[in-house]
């Protein structure tokens, strides 16, 4: 154990004393460290039993993060970093610096020049036209198809069209703003792999190749194995799936990558820890730290594309979106070979009793999307059917490069006779996929049904 704990600052004695003094499960955790050292000393890093041990150490680390700020904070911070390195080594993954997103999102040194430019222009006193002109210029420059004529007056850029495929609305979380909230009496449905594949085929018949698999957080049913089975079946049908599901462990993300997931979308919802606790009352999602580091874990597991976002309406966007930008800059620094995408979903409807505390109007949403384009000129910007057709059309002309179409947010919702029950949120843009595609083509966009088109 001594050799393991001497990496970095802080003495072995101070850390082991801290564990003995403050950890209610000190004997168990000290035995975990002994088992970890034995696994490393015998060359078993990366073996199944060592990866299982890495998962147990990772869970211990998140328990510590959940209680940050309590007694022994210096030792806690040191131990958190040591456990991160240790779990990584046990799993047989390449060496890396410890995860430090909690500190990074408060560190202005992660603000790039383009982020600073975006935040200057997003000031309400700056004319909106300055943002829209700049965003349009950058989007045309970086997303125009190389085969298109640069002189074509109506020519826009490649637009990837996708559809969400909801496979389960069973959820044990108590998120106050969500239509899947556990106490709500809604029609609950959990699709089998065959039922999910039927939905995928229906979408494929409508032209889609890229699908986003979405599900509630119900650990006994929405397991990693459940999603992996669905992903493998979809890949066998020639589809390109990504996932928008509850945060997973590093090992679970690796299993999803192996099953064919090309990307993960996971929104922090809000980067305000106090408001986060107010909105997420019970359930696994109540852990702010576990969610905050999820994209780190996904990237470490080999996920090629990472989607970030905040749920507009939960907190002041002038607080949340700049921190999201910094979060992305931190991840880009750690994983420069990955693709990063952004979305700004806005609350339009929520369960009875929930009032949106920070509503923004269409002009403000346009301003923030254009700011994202300025901050990240090459990043895909994603827009869902939460927004209406008129606003989606306008944003498509400015900076959006990926949009959903003909969506349903209820499991089984693509069946012809499916009722609009059990949905996560109502769809505002009611156009069919074919109608959206026709509008895009008439407007000069190159419609792509997957990233690799």
Residue-wise pLDDT tens digits, 79-97: 888 899 999 999 999 888 8
Average pLDDT, the chain: 91
CATH code where residue 426 lies: 3.20.20.70
Hey, how many other C-beta atoms are within 10 angstroms of the C-beta on 105? 19
Would you place residue 72 in the very low, low, confident or very high pLDDT band (cuts 50, 70, 90)?
A: very low
- The whole-angstrom separation of Cα 421 and Cα 189 is 10
One domain, residues 151 and 214: yes
pLDDT at 5: 52
One domain, residues 271 and 380: yes
Provide the number of structural domains found in the chain: 2
Q: Tens of pLDDT along 319-333?
A: 999 999 999 999 999
One domain, residues 85 and 212: no
Residue 280 has pLDDT above 60, yes or no: yes
One domain, residues 324 and 269: yes
Question: Does 121 map to a domain?
Answer: no
One domain, residues 315 and 369: yes
The number of angstroms, rounded, from the C-alpha of 339 to the middle of its chain's C-alpha atoms is 12
Question: Does 123 map to a domain?
Answer: no
One domain, residues 192 and 321: yes
Q: What is the pTM of this model?
A: 0.92
More confident residue, 351 or 299: 299
Question: Does 408 map to a domain?
Answer: yes
Question: Does 127 map to a domain?
Answer: no
Token pair 């409807």: residue: 349
Question: Does 83 map to a domain?
Answer: yes
One domain, residues 87 and 139: no
Task: Give the residue numbers spanning the domain of 397.
Answer: 135-448
- Please, what is the Cα angle at 433 between 208 and 229, to 5 degrees? 35
One domain, residues 17 and 150: no
pLDDT at 69: 47
Nearby residues of 117 by Cβ (< 8 Å), 6 or more positions away: 374, 375
One domain, residues 83 and 180: no
- State whether the Cα torsion 188-193-197-200 is positive or negative: positive
Question: Does 116 map to a domain?
Answer: no
One domain, residues 260 and 378: yes
Nearby residues of 65 by Cβ (< 8 Å), 6 or more positions away: 80, 102, 289, 290
Q: Tens of pLDDT along 202-230?
A: 999 999 999 999 999 999 999 999 999 99
Question: Does 105 map to a domain?
Answer: no
Structure tokens at 194: 């065959």
One domain, residues 202 and 269: yes
One domain, residues 86 and 147: no
Residue 284 has pLDDT above 50, yes or no: yes
Question: Does 114 map to a domain?
Answer: no
Domain final residue, candidates 98, 123, 149: 98
């Amino acid at each position: 154990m001594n050799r393991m704990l001497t990496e970095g600052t802080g003495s072995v004695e101070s850390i082991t004393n801290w564990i003995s003094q403050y950890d209610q499960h000190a004997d168990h955790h000290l035995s975990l460290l002994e088992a970890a050292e034995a696994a490393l000393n015998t060359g078993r890093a990366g073996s199944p039993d060592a990866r299982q041990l890495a998962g147990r150490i990772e869970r211990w680390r998140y328990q510590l993060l959940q209680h940050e700020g309590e007694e022994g904070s210096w030792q806690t911070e040191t131990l958190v970093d040591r456990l991160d390195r240790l779990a990584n080594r046990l799993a047989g993954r390449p060496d890396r610096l410890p995860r430090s997103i909690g500190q990074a999102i408060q560190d202005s040194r992660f603000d790039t020049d383009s982020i600073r430019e975006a935040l200057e222009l997003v000031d309400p006193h700056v004319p909106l036209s300055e943002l829209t002109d700049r965003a349009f210029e950058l989007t045309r420059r970086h997303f125009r198809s190389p085969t298109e004529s640069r002189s074509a007056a109506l020519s826009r850029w490649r637009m990837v069209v996708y559809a969400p495929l909801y496979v389960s609305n069973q959820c044990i979380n108590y998120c106050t703003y969500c239509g899947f909230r556990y106490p709500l009496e809604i029609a609950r449905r959990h699709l089998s792999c065959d039922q999910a594949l039927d939905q995928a085929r229906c979408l494929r018949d409508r032209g889609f190749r890229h699908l986003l698999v979405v599900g509630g957080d119900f650990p006994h049913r929405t397991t990693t194995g459940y999603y992996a089975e669905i992903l493998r079946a979809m890949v066998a049908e020639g589809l390109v799936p990504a996932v928008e599901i509850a945060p997973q462990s590093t090992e679970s993300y690796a299993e999803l990558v192996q099953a064919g997931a090309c990307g993960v979308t996971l929104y922090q919802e809000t980067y305000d820890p106090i408001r986060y606790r107010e909105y997420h009352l019970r359930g696994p999602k109540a852990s702010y730290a576990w969610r905050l580091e999820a994209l780190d874990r996904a990237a470490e597991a080999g996920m090629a594309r990472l989607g970030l976002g905040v749920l507009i309406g939960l907190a002041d966007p002038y607080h949340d979106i700049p921190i999201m930008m910094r979060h992305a800059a931190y991840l880009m620094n750690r994983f420069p070979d990955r693709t990063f995408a952004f979305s700004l979903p806005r609350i339009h409807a929520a369960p009875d009793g929930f009032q949106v505390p920070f509503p923004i109007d269409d002009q403000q949403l346009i301003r923030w999307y254009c700011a994202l384009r300025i901050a990240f000129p090459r990043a895909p910007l994603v827009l869902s059917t939460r927004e209406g057709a008129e606003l989606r059309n306008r944003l498509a002309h400015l900076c959006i490069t990926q949009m959903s179409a003909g969506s349903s947010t209820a499991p089984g919702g693509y069946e012809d006779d499916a009722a609009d029950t059990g949905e996560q949120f109502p769809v505002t843009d009611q156009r069919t996929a074919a109608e959206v595609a026709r509008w895009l083509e008439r407007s000069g966009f190159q419609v792509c049904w997957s990233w690799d088109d």
